[in-house]
Chains A and B, each alone.
Chain A
Amino acid sequence: MKMKKLLATGFATAMAVTTLAGCGSAADNNASQSAGTDSAAGSTQVAASNDDVTTITIYAYNNSTTEAAEKVAAAVSEITEPAIGVKVNLLTGVSSEQLNLALASGEDLDLFFAMPWQVSMSTMAATNQIIALDDLLAEYAPDVLSGISEDDWRCSTVSGSIYGVPMNKDKAQGRGFEMVKSIADELGIDYSTPWTYEDLDANLRKVKEAYPDMYPLVPNGGTMIYPAWACDVLSDDLGVLENALSDSTQVVNFYDTDSFKEYCKWVYQWAQEGLMMPDAVNTTEGYQEFFNSGVGFGTFTSFKAGFEAEETRKCGKDIVVVQMENGAPHSTTSMVNASWCIANNSKNPEKAMQMLNLMYTNPEVSNLLVNGIEGDNWVFADESKGVITYPEGVDSSNTSYSSVGWAWPNEQITYVWEGDEPDVWEQLGEFNKNAQSSPAKGFVWDNSGVLNEVTACNNVVEKYRAGLLTGCLDPETAIPQMNQELEAAGINTIIEAKQAQLDAWLAEQN
């Protein structure tokens, strides 16, 4: 008797608690999270009350204050709620740790950015953390599907299914040399046509002669942007196509190629003669600091349309860039496959795709997400041309919502920042279109079969790469030694596996 009474009280309490939990959480952001795990009763209640409006959680790359993110989310929701019945919950500044934890733990997450250097799309697809998008794209985002080229879709395709929408940013890169414009002009350095290493050598000497205190060539954060020629690194640089501009599809050891040896030989020579900053491996500063403080003149770089304006802002000095002879703009998988994905955690993938569609195609939504709130984070500098700038008293260091256009699905439909050319997006589109595709563009390397070799080889690479790229190590001795160690670590196994995968992939394409 007593037992029954106790049980009854217990149940009553449990019911009361779950009901309360359901009601309470319907209002706040963590709605489905707490309700879903608390009790079945709670979650059905939430679903019922939220039938017409779905909350879509978006993880974003850029930083902002929580308040600003909520404001942006509210403004976006105002557009999306009537249009597709979606309320946006925006989390900014998500680190790769947080992203991986959320994916692994089944936390509320619908749309997120997949940067190839943070997460691997093939791994996420294989472990079911993201979902295939083919059907969703066809049904809810036909414009996106047709707007992105076949080539580009292939870069975010894993075993036959599309798993991500490539970000509409620079999808190609040229390889070149960037330098301080005032000095180049003063010394009559011609940067209108592509340079060979000999040209570069002559120009570096000119600078050294005129400015003995300056280093004509500086590193970037202890290493160099590489390679300085059009090379398809095939996801990692173990086994590459030496020249992405040729038709050859032979996978070779990057560190054994003539291009690499030639590059190292030159840099080493420059370092020996004081043209290159000494002890570069141990400097942590970026080239921007060196340019700005007048310590450095130039460095190797990859470039895209609108690059000079961007660099000029970063360095605080006018910057020009010249293409290296073998560095014509080219497009490879890793330049394209930064994508937006739908997490398997998503409770409503259809709505998530509709939201992604709006993010890609609706200028207003895209602009809110990229640039933040008008008045708070930006104001029009020239409304007719769609050029914006920071409001009075706000600049990049204290804005509450940092604008990182390329990390969003489509920066090319947003307003242009003052300082960029008003037609920068057209230029970028042209640049992407005109760049030559690597024969292996779209091939996604799956290294799961040779993980041990990859780890071992990466350790060897770690040991030598920065030293060689910055001219601290003598290539005559270091390169053979490095390759010997790489072979012992199993680079040939990797190359074989990669070649086999690439051949199979190529056969599939034709």
Chain B
Amino acid sequence: MVIKDTKYQVVINTVLIILSLMCVMPFILLLSSSITSETALVKTGYRFWPTEIDLSAYKYLLMDSTSIVRGYAISFFVTIVGTLTSLMLTTLYAYPLSRKNLPGRNIFAFYIFFTMLFNGGLVPGYMMWTQMFHIKNTIFALIVPGLLLNAFNVIMMRTYFTTNIPEEVLEAARIDGGGELYILTKVVLPMSKPIIVTLVLLIGLSYWNDWLNGLYYVNRDNLYSIQVLLKKMMDDIEMIKKASAAGASTMKMPSISIRMAVAVMGALPIMCVYPFFQKYFVKGIVIGAVKG
């Protein structure tokens, strides 16, 4: 029995070690190539240990440090405001759906489910947002379209409520004289920390990583989020390489290492936050399974 156990441990640990290496190694490669000089990259290829350390990619990115700082600020703002608003809307939709006595429950459920399967398409959406709501080149362009309410999140949250909040608890709260809002905020939400944290992470990530809205709805550089800004910078480099009247030699520009540096800059804040969320994340995402 004991032997079997250690065997099991050995096997499972090897598998896990290999799996986590597969996740970590590309990132190490990314980090190392972002601080390698361009010539060394071309000559020797990507290495796990930089052959010739050169920070010119980061220097180029930070050259215009005000726009980088502004980009981060906009991204943080959008992520925080967007996540809070989205979380509120999601909760307010999901909670009533989880209650069996909601009149027209099926209609509301179908209404949100429908958006998972069908949408109006890009151009009609664009026309609606720019011509009816005039959000082009406003901060709302980065918050509202496509991200504010995700049907999948609503359904995930509803499932959590129905499976993890016993009817009896709600009844007890009602007998104690609690109104609906009281029950939601004082009873249900405190019992739902795992799902809330999961959603915060999911929604926050989608806000942080979003650059499509920036691409479609923003063309003023004081509204570029960090992702849009980084994409613009890479475009700039391509443009400079194409530009016929470049004047001076363009070879000083790092282009491969800068791609790596951009990825690092975009991922860095998320990596700093992730560890704090992890324990909830695992708990919350296992929806539907029986939990202790």
Contacts and interface: CB of A to CB of B under 8 A. Distances in A.
Contact of B43 (A62, A295, A313): A295
Contacts of A371: 245
B248 A395 contact: yes
Nearest to B221: A66
A315 B251 contact: yes
Contacts of A101: 122-123, 126, 216
B239 A63 contact: yes
A184 interface: no
B101 interface: no
A374 to B, nearest CB: 14
Contacts of B134: 30, 34
Contacts of A243: none
Interface string B222-260: 100000000010011001111111111111110110000
B38 A313 contact: no
B4 interface: no
A22 to B, nearest CB: 14
A67 B251 CA distance: 27
Interface stretch (A260-268, A284-292, A462-470): A284-292
Interface in B51-76: 60, 63-64
B235 A398 contact: no
A418 B247 contact: yes
A285 B241 CA distance: 12
Nearest to B39: A293
A274 interface: no
B219 interface: yes
B220 interface: yes
A397 interface: yes
B20 interface: no
Contact of A402 (B239, B253, B256): B239
A107 B217 CA distance: 12
Contacts of B115: none
A444 B255 CA distance: 36
A310 B244 CA distance: 6
Nearest to A406: B244
B146 to A, nearest CB: 14
Between B60, B130, B241, the greatest number of chain A beta carbons within 10 A of the residue's beta carbon is seen for B130
B243 A404 contact: yes
A111 B64 CA distance: 31
A405 interface: yes
Contact of B131 (A37, A286, A314): A37
Contacts of A406: 244
B123 A313 contact: no
Between B60, B221, B243, the greatest number of chain A beta carbons within 10 A of the residue's beta carbon is seen for B243
Interface in A45-98: 62-63, 65-67, 91, 93-95, 97-98
Interface in B63-105: 63-64
A395 B126 contact: no
B140 to A, nearest CB: 15
Contact of A397 (B60, B222, B245): B60
A237 interface: no
B184 interface: no
- The interface size bin for chain A is 35 or more
Contacts of B248: 313, 390, 395-396, 419
Interface string A284-311: 1110111011110000000000000010
B219 A91 contact: yes
Contact of A97 (B39, B216, B220): B216
Nearest to B235: A63
Interface in A105-141: 105-107
A313 B249 contact: yes
B144 interface: no
A501 interface: no
B239 A62 contact: yes
A396 B250 contact: yes
Interface in A200-249: none
Contact of A66 (B220, B236, B240): B220
B245 A417 contact: yes
A441 to B, nearest CB: 23
B39 A397 contact: no
A446 interface: no
Interface in A375-421: 389-390, 395-398, 402-406, 411, 417-420
A80 to B, nearest CB: 22
A316 interface: yes
Contact of B245 (A63, A315, A405): A405
Interface string A406-445: 1000010000011110000000000000000000000000
A34 B243 CA distance: 35
Nearest to B38: A289
Contacts of A419: 247-248
Contact of B246 (A66, A104, A107, A314): A314
Contacts of A67: 221
Contacts of A420: 245
A299 to B, nearest CB: 14
B42 A290 contact: yes
B232 A63 contact: yes
B219 A396 contact: no
A67 B245 CA distance: 21
Contacts of A316: 249-252
Given A105-B131, A106-B127, A285-B42, A417 B247 contact: yes
A417 B122 contact: no
Contact of B250 (A98, A285, A313): A313
Contact of A62 (B42, B243, B247): B243
B147 interface: no
Contacts of A289: 38, 42, 255-256
A284 B245 contact: no
Given A289-B42, A406-B244, A284 B256 contact: yes
A34 B222 CA distance: 21
B109 interface: no
Counting from the closest, the 7 A-B pairs by CB-CB distance are A316-B251, A417-B245, A293-B39, A293-B42, A316-B249, A105-B127, A104-B123
11 contacts: A63-B232, A105-B131, A289-B256, A310-B246, A313-B247, A313-B249, A314-B241, A316-B250, A316-B251, A390-B247, A397-B63
Given A101-B126, A313-B249, A403-B245, 9 more contacts: A91-B219, A98-B215, A289-B256, A294-B43, A313-B248, A402-B236, A405-B244, A418-B247, A420-B245
